[in-house]
Structures are given as C-alpha cells and as structure tokens.
Amino acid sequence: MPEALIGALDELSRAHQEALSDPTFQVELMELHRTYTGRPSIITEAKRFSEYCGGARIFLKREDLNHTGSHKINNVLGQALLTKRMGKKRIIAETGAGQHGVASATAAALLGLECVVYMGEEDTKRQALNVARMKLLGAEVIPVTTGSRTLKDAINEAMRDWVTHVANTHYLLGTVAGPDPFPTMVRDFHKIIGDESRAQMLELIGRLPDAVLACVGGGSNAIGIFYAFLNDQSVRLIGLEAGGAGVETGKHAATIVGGTPGVLHGTRTYVLQDGDGQTRESHSISAGLDYPGVGPEHAYLHEIGRAEYRAITDDEAMEAFSLLSKSEGIIPAIETAHALAGAMKIGREMGKENGKETTLLINLSGRGDKDVQTAAKYFGIPL
C-alpha cells in the first residue's frame, strides 16, 4: 500500500473501532436499516426450485428486497455514517455491476455527501441502466478506460482519486478486499445477513441448515452470511465463484479455484496473474463477479478448510437464473445465479450422500432487474 494512504487507513481504522463500541453509532445504523433499508430481510422457502436441487429444502435470504436491490446497502450505509463521523464531505466508489455504485449514490443522497463513482467503460455498457440510476441519484459516474476497463481498473482509478483528495474524501470500497481495515470493516457491516439468517432458520425449522451458499466475486455477501455460522461445524460454507467459459479455458474470474497467491490492491490473497505477477484479465457474464482478486478472509477460510469454493460457468449460472425466475417468480441478479447453480449441484450431491432431507440456505444477494438486457440477449429474447 502506498505510504501516502497510510494516514487515511489509520484514521479509518480508528473511526471503525470507535464506532463499533459506540452505542449511538450502532443505534443510528440499525434505525436506518429498519426504516430505510427494510431490514430484517425475510427468508423465502423455494419449494418449486427445490425440484432442481435434488429435492433439498431451499431457503433464500432475500437481500434482493433491500432498498436499492442488493446486500450492498448494508456496507454503504455503515461507511457513509463513518464518513460523516470523520468529517469528510465526499465519497468515491468503484463499481462493477453498478449495485455498489447505486447503493453509494443512494447513501450520498440520503446523507448529503458528494459522490463520484468509477466504473469500467466495459461495465458502463453492460449495466447502462445502473449508470442512469446513479446519475438520477445525483452522483457523477466516471467511465474508466484503462486496462481491461472493468472492476479492477475502476478500483485503480478510485485509489488514484483517493490519494489525490484524501483530506476531504472517503473511499467507500464495496467489497471485502483492498487494504486493512476494509476487509474486516466491510465484513462487520454485512455480518447482519448471517446473524439474521441464523436466528430465522432456527425459528423456521428448529435447526441450522446443512450448508450455506453464496456467490463470491470480492466476497462481501458471502462473508456476510458465512460469518455467523463459522463456529457451527455442522454447517458447510460454500462459495461459488464465476467460472466464465470454464476454468480450464482461462476465461474466468474464479480466483480461489483458478488463481495463485499474490498481492493486489493492497491485500495478500489469491489473484489471477501470470508467471510475472501481472494481473490477468478476468471474464464473467456477471459484471459484479468480474474481479481477478478475492477477499483475504475467503483465502484464509479456503486454506484452513472451513469454507469450500467452486466455480460455476456462465451457462450454469444462466440456467439457474432462468429456473428460479420460472419456478419461484424471483428474477435473481446474475451474480446471485451462481449461488443458485451451486445449490442445484450441492443439493443433488448431498441428497445422495446422506439419504435424508438436506437443507440449504442461499444468500439471494441481489435482484436481476439490472440484468434484464444481458439475460434477454443470452436467451434470444428480442428487446
């Protein structure tokens, strides 16, 4: 990490630690979640989708029903409140699918902060609707034209902005990657997903699920739902990465499954890189998973064997996308569809293995409205 940003990272660490132990901060955040985000989010049992999952009982944690349509708002509201606490007036954010950008623009509007969102030019095309949403919310969207023109380059550009304007600007990083304290801080703001789910499952079925599944790009929604279950050894934690055209083709974004240890954006983790340590371009039909790094805590959970990580191809994800839409009336984000495709596989496997009822909890991290164009094109629906 550049020395120029150490001061800002230290300041952020302090603000985060103070906020954690400050009841007023916690009350303010919880009140916003109750009256603005729409928390707690509900759990829906997907009875018809269960058919495609080997008959396993499927429970969906409905983060898609949050204000702005995904789990991203949990972290954004937390960091936006921290921004005010630090006395800063401007936030910058990177975005891939646009969900984090939209959530950031929303929080900025709510709290009266200036907001600039960096987005790879490639992604501004894939997610034109979200670009318009951010602009309507009063944010400035800057298309990034360097490198692969996707999420990783948007992060580079946001870092450059931050180092230039650090005195009055907070970098509202949207995932559990990047330098300390971001991975733990962003996790802390998302762990409410797992805390709620764990209690809800006990209430609904009187026991914990056999496995918890979530898609993993940077890994924020996954760590959010995993965290409460880390000490429940009976619960398998399964992260589904973007396998793109297939890990064996090299065109994918499955960083843990197909990457190697390295340093990217100020964190040591798994990275898609060549033999010289140059970052390789990632590929995924889902802009939100299209990142060649992954949160360091996922790398750790993988290494100690507490969580498992698998790759789901574009085609598998799109099949699950279509099946959930048609069997449950819920159009998921394409990112989330990777977790659903994982449930189809894991449900079948576990049903065969233990011969008794299997229960899977899936983080339905976002809704698919933003993906209608991509999906229509994929399925050949004329627009």
Are 233 and 221 contacting, i.e. CB atoms less than 8 angstroms apart?
no
79 versus 156: smaller Cβ distance to another protein:
156
Task: Give the active site residue among 152, 196, 365, 370.
Answer: 365
* Smallest distance, another protein to C-beta of residue 105, A: 23
Task: Give the active site residue among 41, 63, 88, 94.
Answer: 94
143 versus 147: smaller Cβ distance to another protein:
147
- Binding another protein (rule: CB under 8 A), the pick from 203, 206, 276, 382 is 276
Are 280 and 287 contacting, i.e. CB atoms less than 8 angstroms apart?
no
**Region binding another protein by CB under 8 A among candidate stretches 6-14, 98-106, 196-204, 332-340:** 6-14
- Binding another protein (rule: CB under 8 A), the pick from 38, 40, 266, 351 is 266
* Smallest distance, another protein to C-beta of residue 359, A: 42
Peptide bond just before 332 cis, omega within 30 deg: no
* Smallest distance, another protein to C-beta of residue 2, A: 5
**Residue 250 binds another protein, judged by CB under 8 A:** no
**Region binding another protein by CB under 8 A among candidate stretches 53-61, 79-87, 221-229, 257-265:** 257-265
**Residue 40 binds another protein, judged by CB under 8 A:** no
**Residue 14 binds another protein, judged by CB under 8 A:** no
- Identify whether 72 is a catalytic site residue: yes
* Smallest distance, another protein to C-beta of residue 277, A: 3
49 versus 291: smaller Cβ distance to another protein:
291
Task: Give the active site residue among 50, 70, 72, 122.
Answer: 72
* Smallest distance, another protein to C-beta of residue 292, A: 9
Give the residue from 34, 75, 68 showing the smallest Cα distance to 190: 75
- Binding another protein (rule: CB under 8 A), the pick from 193, 213, 253, 264 is 264
* Smallest distance, another protein to C-beta of residue 304, A: 22
- Identify whether 94 is a catalytic site residue: yes
Matching residue, tokens 């979640």: 33
- Identify whether 365 is a catalytic site residue: yes
Are 237 and 308 contacting, i.e. CB atoms less than 8 angstroms apart?
yes
**Region binding another protein by CB under 8 A among candidate stretches 4-12, 115-123, 124-132, 327-335:** 4-12
* Smallest distance, another protein to C-beta of residue 147, A: 7
Joined tokens for residue 254: 């499955």
Number of residues that bind another protein (CB under 8 A): 32
**Residue 7 binds another protein, judged by CB under 8 A:** yes
35 versus 278: smaller Cβ distance to another protein:
278
Cβ neighbours of 354 (radius 10 Å) = 10
- Binding another protein (rule: CB under 8 A), the pick from 34, 277, 357, 376 is 277
Residue type (1 letter), 28: E
Binding to another protein in span 139-168, by CB under 8 A = 146-147, 152-153, 156, 159-160, 163-167
Q: Active-site residues: which are they?
A: 72, 94, 365
Q: Residue numbers of the site for another protein (CB under 8 A)?
A: 1-8, 146-147, 152-153, 156, 159-160, 163-167, 262-266, 271, 273, 275-279
